[in-house]
Amino acid sequence: MKKQGGFTLVELMVVVSICVLLLAWGVPSYSSWKKKHDIENQMVQLYSNLQFGRMTAYSGKLASGVWWGGGASITSYQVRSDANNNGVIDDTGVDTQIGAAVSPKYAITPSVNQNSVSFDGRGFLDPANPITFSVSSTSGAAIDCVAVSSTRITLGKMNAGNCAPK
């Protein structure tokens, strides 16, 4: 009679136990990594949209920028261009929305209470109105803020209330 080959129940239970332990160790690490990645991704997307608004203002010689409608935190924003030549992008239903509205996963907090960042027809922000956007999170993301000054937009890491460039 020929001996049957295969695995015993004990061997299968050991392999399943090892898989469960590896999974239990890996899921929290993955969740932490995913949160950091999502925060960094949304800040890079905001940076890109601000740069796009600036370039639209410069190339079209009209006010353009990012509008979110005000509030203590940004849960949705859009890139807009001034359609009625009044120098602002706040006219809902009048000014042109460029692209789709963006709804970030984590709320973004602006440093000042206003409803938009508007660049003039030369691509400059009013020097009296610099603004910093940040995500209040202790996730350890390498990029968690965007600073906008009159001539520059920079990505960075919040450090003692300041957005330190990366």
**CA 27, 102, 109, 50: dihedral to nearest 10 degrees?**
120
**Residues, the chain, total?**
166
pLDDT for the residue numbered 137: 67
Computed over every residue of the chain, the mean pLDDT equals: 89
Cβ burial, residue 38 (10 Å; 0-12/13-18/19+): middle
Global pTM value: 0.84
Q: How many CA atoms lie within 13 A of 3 on its CB side?
A: 3
Phi and psi at residue 119, to the nearest 5°: -100, 140
pLDDT for the residue numbered 94: 87
pLDDT for the residue numbered 31: 83
Residue 153 has pLDDT above 90, yes or no: yes
pLDDT (tens digit per residue) in 28-87: 778 888 999 999 999 999 999 999 999 999 999 999 999 998 778 899 999 999 988 888
According to CATH, the superfamily of the domain at 9-165 is minor pseudopilin epsh domain (3.55.40.10)
Please give the Cα distance from 155 to 133 (Å, whole number).
10
Please give the Cα distance from 76 to 123 (Å, whole number).
23
pLDDT for the residue numbered 61: 93
Q: How many CA atoms lie within 13 A of 165 on its CB side?
A: 5
Residue 109 has pLDDT above 80, yes or no: yes
Question: What is the chain's percent helix, strand, coil content, to nearest 5?
Answer: 30, 25, 40
In the predicted model, what is the mean pLDDT of residues 129-145? 87
Predicted confidence band at 7 (pLDDT cuts at 50, 70, 90)? confident
Helix residue spans in the chain (DSSP H)? 9-60
